[in-house]
Amino acid sequence: MFDKAIAKLAKEASMLAYTPYSHFPVGAALVTSEKEVIQGCNIENASFGLSNCAERTAVFKAISSGYRNFDAIYIYGDTKEPISPCGACRQVLAEFCEEEMPVYLLSKDLEVKETTIAGLLPYHFKRSNLSTNV
């Protein structure tokens, strides 16, 4: 269920972004099954491929803090339309979140578009696709 207070936390997270190259801050708020909210922002690097998106920052912070189960993610961009995650973020979310977990895509006016992990990446790569030797 959409929670405007958590949407505002995603927006607040975007204010912490380090974006000297793109000037395009993004924020994320990942809700754990324990009802903790883990915020993430995008962090750029002069070697642009080494940059990290807000969604992955939130997931990696959560995993490295011991969380393994998630209820929702809110993704905020200072955009006219609700922002959508890149392919790399979609794959990371698919790795760590259930397929039916709600994903709330947000615009600068907190307009929301709701989808799910499966809706973002219906044919994601998953462990069950790996050889049993792995």
Number of separate domains in the chain: 1
From the candidates 34, 36, 55, 114, which is the catalytic residue? 55
Residue 109 lies in a domain: yes
Question: Residues annotated in the binding site, as ranges?
Answer: 53, 86, 89
CA dist 76 and 55 (Å) reads 10
- With respect to residue 129, please indicate whether it lies within any of the assigned structural domains: no
Whether residue 111 lies in the annotated active site:
no
Q: What is the pLDDT of residue 126?
A: 77
Nearest one of 43, 77, 69 to 57, comparing CA atoms: 43
Q: Is 89 helix (H, G, I), strand (E, B) or coil?
A: helix
Question: How high is the pLDDT of residue 10?
Answer: 98
Tokens 């006219």 found at: 80
The model scores a pTM over 0.85? yes
- Do 121 and 98 touch, CB atoms closer than 8 A? no
Helices (runs of H) and strands (runs of E) counted in the chain: 4, 5
Residues in the chain, pLDDT under 50: none
CA 119 to CA 134: how far, in whole Å? 28
pLDDT of res. 124: 86
Residue 17 located in a structural domain:
yes
Identify the residue whose tokens are 């974006």. 19
3-state secondary structure 69-85: CEEEEEEEECCCCCCCC
CATH of the domain at 64: 3.40.140.10
What whole-number distance in Å separates Cα of residue 93 and Cα of residue 55?
Answer: 8
Residue 45 lies in a domain: yes
Query: Where are any strands of DSSP class E within the chain?
Result: 26-32, 37-41, 70-77, 102-106, 112-116
Please give the annotated binding residues for Zn(2+), written as ranges.
53, 86, 89
133 found inside a domain: no
Q: Which domain holds residue 96?
A: 4-124
> Is residue 34 domain-resident?
yes
